[in-house]
Amino acid sequence: VSTVRGDVGDLGLMSETLAQRDVEVVFHLAAQAITSAAQRDLIGTLDTNVRGTWNVLEAARRAGSVKAIVIASSVKVYGEQPTLPFSEEAPLKGVEPYDASKIGAELVSSTYHGAYGLPVVITRCGNLYGGGDLHWDRIVPGTIRAATGGRVPVVRSGGTPLRDYVYVEDAIDAFLRLAQVAEQPAVAGQAFNVGTGAPVSELKMTEQILDVMGIDDLQPEVQPASAGEIVHQSLAPDKLQRATGWVASRELVDGLARTVAWYRDYL
């Protein structure tokens, strides 16, 4: 593994990194990914998530060796939708700063495919969970850390919003499969949902984590939802399955058991 430390805002470094190493596959995962931080800093979020994306794509165009580019977008580009689960044909209605930044990144990606023929594919992931996420305000690591310390876990959404939870290793599998077929005409330039189509409420998710941890003496504290929260989210994965054969292989209980084990060791 050759590591280059830098910033996607630095086009020169991006171009040099890809060109000097004859890079063939790019997974663009760099982003301001915390919605609350994006809310506080719209300009910084757009700069990182949109300009950062076109820098990566421009570097790939200049390199000439790239055969696949997988761009990480988000379920949040859909915003509020009347029907669950969301299909890729649904309009992109996200209006919050993070949502808008990802829509902007998708538009830039589509332009680089349409104008220059870059083999770009876009992934719209549900709520990813698994070991390694240290953003403690997120429901999975936050609940595990609180319960490990004997504290009451907090649900900051009213508990009722439905979310499509995807185990991180399943998401990695989806990214790898898409990279393998990104040059195919039916795949290049397309967006694909990475989800289960089986959403779970945030309160139920918190209770499931506690159950997996074997903790039955802590009741979650449910707080009102914050402004701008999308009520329900769920992703239909049919298009991805047709293109790559992908299906989410981890049942929620199994994924949570693996996740809890990672955090117990870490903490």
Instruction: Give the catalytic positions in this structure.
Output: 98
- Taking the C-alpha atoms of 45, 49, 51 and 55 in order, what is their torsion angle to the nearest 10 degrees? 150
Instruction: Return the structure tokens found at 71.
Output: 């761009």
Burial code (b: 16+ CB inside 10 Å, e: under 16) for 193-205 equals bbbbbebbbbbbb
Angle between helical axes of 252-266 and 139-148 (0-180°, round to 10) = 50
Long-range contacts at 221-227 (CB < 8 A, ≥ 24 apart)? 221/152, 221/153, 221/154, 221/155, 222/155, 222/158, 222/159, 223/154, 223/155, 223/156, 223/157, 223/158, 224/158, 225/156, 225/157, 225/158, 225/161, 226/156, 226/157
Cα–Cα dist 126/39, whole Å: 20
